[in-house]
């Protein structure tokens, strides 16, 4: 493969014009994992062998997990994967593009109800077209994305705290709309079932056998969520290092300066809004399938705070952070349930000092505050410190 040498001078031109075509021989690179000889290598996703192996290990582990975990833990991991998708979506908007939003549950709800209408079963009041889940997921991304596209120009008129308040208003109006629109949502306090998981004609509520491996419903749902999570996470990570991603960061850091440098503010913010709404829509659709029944009241400000907790605890403007945050936020209640018997002040009834649920909510709040004050980069920042410590060992930096 011969590459162009236009615009290159000196050593780099020689390197690229040489017989190896710009590739540095392996024996020179050996032991120097961070020796990059091209921009592509410098900005690649998995730029060190350690990252490559870690990622491979984690992905393999994630795929193997449902086969030796119990049914309810698998379900919990599926919810974590779904919240991861929603968290990544919010992180694109809030972390990368710096537009704080409390209205994300509204877009999740849009996705959930779109999916339920397209692939759900019709009931006495609710409508459902009983189409394939693939179509439902696609539309669950498109409909919230388009609504995001419509809302975005409004949102670009306001900045910072005003945007937070505006999206809060959107959340309130959305709740009213969903309560009213019983044909789609089942109505206030009743709700409806999510989409039927029939993917490409195969009903995921049945158990399948792939050779010696059994795929019970919860496992196939988990695998579906996992695959979508991986695809969407890689897409988001790729977007973040593209031109659009750099525009997001420029707008976040100083929007006037970004505008003067030629970043189209309206287009950038609209893209961030539409994309993050589409992510939220997919997450909402899957969430409704996992939970089984969703009522209009569910998409409230507490869910918005949970999503913000994912972003903040995980790490603002990092994809892996969002994944860690989602796992943390979803698994923390279960962890607390396990340790509750050893905590004398926690009760399962209403007579003790505090219940597990209340403790968990309080912990979310406390952790948001603590992370913002002490480690603004979240769990990712903690991990980064550990990594840097070992990388620099035996030196302190």
How many residues belong to the site for other proteins (CB under 8 A)? 47
Return the range that interacts with other proteins (CB under 8 A); candidates 74-82, 137-145, 304-312, 336-344.
Answer: 304-312
User: Would you count residue 33 as binding other proteins (CB under 8 A)?
Assistant: no
User: Would you count residue 179 as binding other proteins (CB under 8 A)?
Assistant: yes
Cα 361 off chain centre by: 21
Q: CA–CA distance from 6 to each of 3, 111, 183 (Å)? A: 9, 48, 62
**CA-wise closest residue to 322 among 331, 313, 330:** 313
User: Would you count residue 100 as binding other proteins (CB under 8 A)?
Assistant: yes
User: Would you count residue 362 as binding other proteins (CB under 8 A)?
Assistant: yes
How many Cβ atoms from other residues are within 10 Å of residue 235's Cβ? 14
User: Would you count residue 348 as binding other proteins (CB under 8 A)?
Assistant: no
User: Would you count residue 125 as binding other proteins (CB under 8 A)?
Assistant: no
**CA-wise closest residue to 78 among 228, 201, 241:** 228
User: Would you count residue 29 as binding other proteins (CB under 8 A)?
Assistant: no
- Please name every residue paired with 202 in a beta bridge, in sequence order, or none if there are none: 199
User: Would you count residue 345 as binding other proteins (CB under 8 A)?
Assistant: no
User: Would you count residue 349 as binding other proteins (CB under 8 A)?
Assistant: no
User: Would you count residue 123 as binding other proteins (CB under 8 A)?
Assistant: no
Return the range that interacts with other proteins (CB under 8 A); candidates 16-24, 26-34, 67-75, 306-314.
Answer: 306-314
Q: How far is the CB of 393 from other proteins (least distance, A)?
A: 31
**CA-wise closest residue to 248 among 96, 112, 361:** 96
Q: CA–CA distance from 306 to each of 87, 173, 313, 346 (Å)? A: 9, 20, 10, 22
User: Would you count residue 373 as binding other proteins (CB under 8 A)?
Assistant: yes
User: Would you count residue 127 as binding other proteins (CB under 8 A)?
Assistant: no
Q: How far is the CB of 390 from other proteins (least distance, A)?
A: 29
For residue 303, give the H/E element and its range: helix 301-314
Among 41, 142, 158, 265, binds other proteins (CB under 8 A): 158
Q: How far is the CB of 151 from other proteins (least distance, A)?
A: 10
User: Would you count residue 301 as binding other proteins (CB under 8 A)?
Assistant: yes
Q: How far is the CB of 100 from other proteins (least distance, A)?
A: 6
How many Cβ atoms from other residues are within 10 Å of residue 352's Cβ? 15
Q: CA–CA distance from 212 to each of 208, 220, 223, 280, 388 (Å)? A: 10, 15, 17, 36, 43
User: Would you count residue 62 as binding other proteins (CB under 8 A)?
Assistant: no
User: Would you count residue 122 as binding other proteins (CB under 8 A)?
Assistant: no
**CA-wise closest residue to 82 among 60, 118, 115:** 115
User: Would you count residue 1 as binding other proteins (CB under 8 A)?
Assistant: no
Among 168, 199, 291, 331, binds other proteins (CB under 8 A): 168
**CA-wise closest residue to 204 among 279, 289, 78, 294:** 289
Interacting residues of 266 by C-beta distance below 8 A, sequence separation 6+: 153, 156
Question: Residue 203 phi/psi, 5° resolution?
Answer: -75, 115
Among 272, 289, 312, 379, binds other proteins (CB under 8 A): 312
User: Would you count residue 379 as binding other proteins (CB under 8 A)?
Assistant: no
User: Would you count residue 149 as binding other proteins (CB under 8 A)?
Assistant: no
Return the range that interacts with other proteins (CB under 8 A); candidates 205-213, 338-346, 369-377, 383-391.
Answer: 369-377
DSSP string computed for 168-199: HHHHHHHHHHHHH-HHHH--TTT-EE----EE
Q: How far is the CB of 368 from other proteins (least distance, A)?
A: 3
- Write out the residues near other proteins by the rule CB under 8 A: 98, 100, 102, 154, 157-162, 164-166, 168-170, 172-173, 175-176, 179-180, 254-257, 260, 301-302, 305, 308-309, 312, 350, 354, 358, 361-362, 364-369, 372-373, 376
């Amino acid at each position: 493969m011969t590459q162009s040498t236009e615009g290159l001078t000196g050593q780099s031109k020689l390197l690229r014009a040489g017989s190896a075509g710009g590739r540095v021989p392996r024996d020179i690179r050996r032991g120097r994992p961070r020796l990059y000889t091209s921009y592509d290598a410098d900005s690649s996703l998995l730029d060190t062998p350690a990252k490559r192996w870690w990622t491979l290990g984690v992905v393999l582990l994630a795929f193997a997990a449902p086969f030796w975990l119990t049914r309810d833990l698998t379900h919990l991991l599926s919810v974590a994967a779904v919240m991861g998708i929603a968290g990544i979506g919010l992180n694109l908007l809030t972390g990368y593009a710096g537009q704080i939003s409390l209205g994300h549950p509204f877009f999740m709800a849009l996705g959930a109800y779109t999916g339920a209408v397209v692939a759900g079963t019709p009931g006495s009041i609710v409508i459902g077209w009983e189409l394939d889940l693939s179509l439902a997921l696609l539309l669950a991304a498109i409909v919230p994305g388009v609504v995001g596209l419509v809302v975005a120009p409004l949102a670009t008129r306001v900045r910072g705290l005003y945007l937070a308040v505006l999206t809060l208003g959107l959340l309130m109006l959305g709740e009213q709309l969903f309560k009213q629109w019983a044909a789609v949502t089942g109505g206030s306090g009743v709700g409806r079932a999510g989409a039927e998981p029939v993917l490409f004609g195969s009903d995921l509520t049945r158990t399948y056998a792939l050779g010696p491996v059994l795929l019970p419903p919860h496992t196939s749902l988990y695998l579906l969520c996992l695959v979508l999570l991986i695809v969407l996470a890689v897409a988001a990570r790729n977007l973040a290092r593209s031109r659009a991603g750099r525009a997001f960061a420029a707008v976040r850091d100083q929007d006037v300066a970004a505008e003067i440098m030629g970043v189209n503010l309206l287009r950038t913010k609209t893209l961030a809004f539409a994309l993050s709404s589409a992510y939220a829509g997919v997450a909402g659709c899957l969430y409704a399938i996992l939970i089984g029944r969703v009522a209009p009241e569910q998409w409230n400000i507490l869910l918005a705070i949970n999503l913000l907790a994912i972003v903040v605890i995980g790490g603002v403007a990092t994809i892996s952070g969002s994944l860690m945050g989602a796992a943390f936020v979803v698994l923390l209640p279960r962890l607390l349930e396990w340790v509750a018997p050893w905590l004398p002040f926690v009760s399962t009834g209403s007579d003790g000092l505090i219940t597990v649920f209340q403790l968990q909510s309080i912990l979310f709040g406390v952790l948001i505050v603590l992370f913002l004050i002490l480690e603004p980069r979240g769990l990712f920042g903690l991990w980064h410190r550990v990594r840097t410590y070992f990388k620099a060992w035996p030196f302190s930096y």
